[in-house]
Structure 1
Amino acid sequence: MKEKLKKRTQTFAIDCGYLCSRFPATREYDAYCRQLIRCAASVGANYRAACRAKSDADFLNKLKIVEEEADESMYFLEILLIISQKEHQEIKRLLQEANELLSIIVASINTVRKRIKDKK
């Protein structure tokens, strides 16, 4: 499961980059696309870091970062959906993928929290 999710988060980052390459290099698009590329890439990078966690608490902290970055990715995708006249189908697909990744991460967070609580 970890390897599959690593690949999925990597693909998400790459797909967001490809999406952004299709927008004009204007000031407003550039600002949103830079943010989207940064947070989309951070989803995968921080998930990889979580997989190397030293403890459940460390794993939980790193997953919380992944959660924040996935939610932030959704925010910038939503902005692009609103301001753009094109790429709506691809933006919606990436929004769905971000939402699915977020759901997986939240479920993992809840599992780890329960495990930590049960150890006490």
Structure 2
Amino acid sequence: MKNAILEKSFNFSLDIVKLYLKLKNEKEYILSKQLVRSAISIGANVTEAQYAQSKKDFISKMSIALKEANESEYWINLLSKAEIINEDEYKKYIKDCIEVKILLINIVRKSKEIS
């Protein structure tokens, strides 16, 4: 069975790394650097949570990933409003980010109910 959040968070991070490299080549450093940091943190925390020491640790790591996803959404919106990314790019990245957020919200909520 596939682990949807591991897969989606990894793919989102990878896509944002590619966007960051593109924007860096276009001399946009500030916003894209903030986005890449928050986006790769999502996948890192989700991965770390797979071997959490306890249920509390698992919830903590997934909650951090959720906060980072929320921050990533902010940076994507800002990049769009500043016209640094186009409408098609915005739609793709915001859709992927929201999908990750929804999964994380459900994981955190269900994990808290069980514990």
CA drift at 1:47 = 0.2
| Equivalent runs, 1:74-89 vs 2, <5 Å | 74-84=73-83, 86-89=85-88
Unmatched tracts of structure 1, length 5 or more: none
Cα gap change, 1:91/1:20 in structure 2, threshold over 3 Å: closer, same or farther? farther
When the two chains are superposed, the root-mean-square deviation of aligned CA atoms in Å is: 1.5
CA drift at 1:36 = 0.5
Indicate the residue corresponding to 1:95 in structure 2: 94
Cα gap change, 1:85/1:70 in structure 2, threshold over 3 Å: closer, same or farther? closer
| Equivalent runs, 1:61-72 vs 2, <5 Å | 61-72=60-71
Indicate the residue corresponding to 1:45 in structure 2: 44
Asked if the contact 1:2/1:51 (under 8 Å) is kept, the reply is: no
Question: Normalising by the residue count of structure 1, what TM-score does the alignment of the two structures yield?
Answer: 0.86
Percent identity of equivalent pairs: 26
Moved over 3 A (4+): 1-4
Equivalenced residue count is 113
Max radius of gyration: which structure?
A: 1
Q: What amino acid maps onto 1:20 in structure 2?
A: Y
Unmatched tracts of structure 2, length 5 or more: none
Q: Which moved more, 1:80-89 or 1:32-41?
A: 80-89
Question: Normalising by the residue count of structure 2, what TM-score does the alignment of the two structures yield?
Answer: 0.89
